[in-house]
Amino acid sequence: MGSASSELPEAVAKRVSEERIFSVGRLTRTIKETLESNSDLREIWVRGEISNLTYHLSGHVYFTLKDENSQIKCTMWKSNASNLKFKLASGGKTIVRGSVEVYEPRGEYQLIVKEAYEDGLGDLHKRFLLLKEKLSKEGLFAEEHKKRIPKFPKTIGVITSPTGAVFHDICNVISRRFPHVRILLVPAKVQGDDGAQSIVAAIHTANGIKEIDLIILARGGGSLEDLWCFNEESVARAVYSSEIPIVSGIGHETDFTIADFVSDKRAPTPSAAAEIIVPDAMRIETELQQYADKLVRGLQNFVSLRSERLDGLTIRLIRSMKYTAQNKSGGVKTMQGKLGSLDPTSVLKRGFSITLLGKQLVIDAKQVKRGDKLKTVLASGQISSEVE
């Protein structure tokens, strides 16, 4: 070191030793360590306006956040930028969360941004919560006020923008699932200052068309401001007082508007609303065919059960007739036997005979006297004789 110090300019050498002179790298590292270890500069929230915005091809986003007096460079890595719920915009008032870091090669400090939010929405959000609470207390969201959604609507009123993809998407889904309905587009402005008024008017119009048995209230995705008209009290009240059941499909799955809470059923998206409100025609046709088969089988079963019973009864009837007949014929023989024993000829066959005096049966010897002519009847033939 001794030799190195000797190379120092005299003015410097007088005041500092060689080892106390910083390299740029060491200075930068010290700055980096100082800034990055300071908890006041880590995981902080910063409010400002965006400028010099670059969405890089790599997916990283670079911009400057500034206010009237100062500015700071900001970097948002791809992994965080992909979670953004909105598109950053130059001039946009924004609140970000991140940490200060130093980029040594350039000797620049910057804010590494992890999250970013649109600023100035606080008021809207507050209004949303207030209205939600108010209407909830009034019972506008209550389950008992929800109207029943018909399973097979015939005419569906679709309240949405006549331009844009939403109406087409809805028609496509219905056309694929159950192309046996009438769809009535009731056009409305679904964003902007007069959006709410237009939606309210459309709900009234739809309620005046008596064929409509179900309404879809739909709008594609957008920012909170874009969807704002669905958070207006007038829309909420119109949805509530609609005589026709309303299914809402507003924005994306994650968007919940006041209109969604009041509607009779909320679908996560416009297409999902279409999906929910019509049945699957293929399934219905299969079901009908099954019913038709079951009807025929039901009747066949009915007939075959009874004809089996009839067969069984017939067999029993015949059997019992035979039995009776047999019984009866047995009786006849007994009778014949009994009758037979009364027939005198059978007695004669056993060797008995009948003795007649003239025409009188002789059953007592006292009936006859000597010299009477007797006739003896045998089983076959007769004998004449004279009493001695």
Which residue ranges make up the site for another protein (CB under 8 A)? 150-152, 154, 157, 162, 168, 171, 174-175, 179-187, 201, 204-206, 208-209, 281, 284-285, 287-288, 291-292, 294-296, 298-299, 301-302, 305-306
Least CB distance from residue 290 to another protein, whole Å? 9
Cβ–Cβ under 8 Å, residues 177 and 275:
yes
Q: Which of 215, 221, 222 is nearest to 239 (CA)?
A: 215
Distance CA 348, CA 175 (A): 109
Cβ nearer to another protein, comparing 67 with 293:
293
Q: Which residues pair with 215 in a beta bridge?
A: 157, 246
Cβ nearer to another protein, comparing 112 with 201:
201
Cβ nearer to another protein, comparing 136 with 205:
205
Least CB distance from residue 193 to another protein, whole Å? 20
Q: Which of 54, 52, 36 is nearest to 44 (CA)?
A: 36
Cβ nearer to another protein, comparing 157 with 268:
157
Least CB distance from residue 154 to another protein, whole Å? 8
| Cα 92 versus chain centre, distance | 42
Least CB distance from residue 291 to another protein, whole Å? 5
Least CB distance from residue 158 to another protein, whole Å? 9
Distance CA 74, CA 37 (A): 19
Cβ nearer to another protein, comparing 155 with 376:
155
Least CB distance from residue 242 to another protein, whole Å? 15
Cβ nearer to another protein, comparing 44 with 281:
281
In sequence order, what DSSP letters do the residues of 337-371 get, joined into one string? HHHHHH-HHHHHHTT--EEEETTEE--SGGG--TT
Cβ–Cβ under 8 Å, residues 90 and 50:
yes
Q: Which of 67, 30, 278 is nearest to 175 (CA)?
A: 278
Structure tokens at 291: 């019913």
Cβ nearer to another protein, comparing 165 with 325:
165
Least CB distance from residue 187 to another protein, whole Å? 7
Distance CA 13, CA 6 (A): 8
